[in-house]
Amino acid sequence: MLHDELAATVGSVDCQVHYGGTMTTARLTPRGAATRARIVEAAADLVGIHGVAETSLDAVLAASATSKSQLYHYFADKDALVLAVIDRQAQRVLDAQGQTLHELDSIAGLRRWRDVIVELERRVGCVGGCPVGSLAGELAEVPAARQRLQVAFTRWSGHLVEGFEAMQARGELDSSCCPGDLATGVMAALQGGLLLTQTTRTTRPLELALDMAIDHVAAQMTTSS
């Protein structure tokens, strides 16, 4: 029955599936994709609360209402599942920021994005920190996980880079500025602010860090902008 889920059908999706010790690219039916997604979603929820080390596969099975054979059908081991969790947490973070991620091509847009992030922290009571940053703190010394985390942060900061490049193309941002460096600075302020916000249970550190980072960008704007 599980192998039937891998039949190539209209509407199926590509996925890495585990077969007896090897990983094979297969096309999942909507049913197979839904089962895999359910496992990843449950694992991401548990990891977000307990961390990777304290999340067992048995707990994931119980939370996702799946069997061991189903889990091992899609994932060779816990390490493989964790890589999928990194991807899922990264997507959740991007989705939560909504349209503001696509409107970072002005100082006003940056400030709207800042307000959304601060409000998201208020809603959760400043608990948990950054889902991706927390994973980085736990997994940065694991090569495969570190590589996947780098991809996640690059996707995130890429929206800032695109915004800064657009400002530069319009002649609003000094041509001597490096959009990549500016994006790195803003991301560093964001992650540091989130860490202190988690520790102090107040959004003030996050607000200060983002305001200072955005003010730095504003200082690089041309007088004609």
Mean pLDDT for 172-190 is: 97
Q: What is the pLDDT of residues 4-45, one digit of tens each?
A: 322 322 233 445 555 334 344 457 788 888 999 999 999 999
**Arithmetic mean of pLDDT over the chain:** 89
Q: What is the pLDDT of residues 95-107, one digit of tens each?
A: 999 999 999 999 9
Residue corresponding to tokens 């500016």: 182
Number of other CB atoms surrounding residue 191 within 10 Å: 19
Cα 199 to its chain centre, rounded Å, is 21
pLDDT at 202 over 50: yes
> Which pLDDT does position 26 carry in this prediction?
57
Cα 99 to its chain centre, rounded Å, is 16
- Is the full-model pTM beyond 0.75? yes
Number of other CB atoms surrounding residue 129 within 10 Å: 19
